[in-house]
Amino acid sequence: MTPLPEITLTTEQRRYLSGRLVLHNASWADTLPDWLRSVIPLARAAQVAAETAGEVEPGLATLEEVCAYLYTASLVFPLHRDYAEVYVWATAQVLARHDRAASVEAVFEMLGEIGTRYQTLTPYLEREVLRVLQRDIRRSVARHSVGRRHPVTGGN
């Protein structure tokens, strides 16, 4: 059996993996669907693995985390149009990825005419809304995990 290659994680990646869930409004945390809460640690691990392999841009939170964040924000106030579009698009991706919907297309079909405009993100929404939100969430996770003990290794 071939041994697995050793992966070296940065301090930021370790903090991100051990960090808590960042929500817009923690008072709505108990309404977050259990299935979404349970897939976030796995999604983070996949994100960090893809980063170390050079497959994705480093320093971004997962779409699962974006959904959780915008979900709690939407319970506090109406989302700005840009964030609403990102939320619908990201939710469709996450539902399909975790077998909560047959496919991304099926989610948009359920939405009917409303869903047709959310099937793709414009370059502006991807760059200036989604990526900025992913970076902000990721930084917040890592920042708030400083001083916390890693649940597996016991280190920071």
Residues whose CB falls within 8 Å of the CB of residue 137, separated by 6 or more in sequence, listed in order: 22, 61, 65, 66, 69
pLDDT band per the 50, 70, 90 thresholds, residue 147: low
Residues whose CB falls within 8 Å of the CB of residue 74, separated by 6 or more in sequence, listed in order: 84, 87
CB 104 within 8 A of CB 93: yes
Q: What is the pTM of this model?
A: 0.88
pLDDT at 16 over 50: yes
d(Cα 67, Cα 91) in Å, to the nearest integer?
6
pLDDT band per the 50, 70, 90 thresholds, residue 149: low
d(Cα 55, Cα 124) in Å, to the nearest integer?
22
Q: What is the pLDDT of residue 3?
A: 74
Structure tokens given for 68:
């959780």
pLDDT at 113 over 90: no
d(Cα 85, Cα 119) in Å, to the nearest integer?
9
pLDDT band per the 50, 70, 90 thresholds, residue 137: very high
Structure tokens given for 75:
């319970």
pLDDT at 40 over 60: yes
pLDDT at 9 over 90: yes
pLDDT at 153 over 50: no
Structure tokens given for 155:
């280190």
pLDDT at 111 over 80: yes
List, in sequence order, every beta strand (DSSP E) within 26-98. Answer: none
pLDDT band per the 50, 70, 90 thresholds, residue 156: very low
Instruction: For 78-97, write each residue's pLDDT tens digit.
Output: 999 999 999 999 999 999 99
Mean pLDDT of the chain: 91
d(Cα 12, Cα 56) in Å, to the nearest integer?
16
Q: What is the pLDDT of residue 4?
A: 65
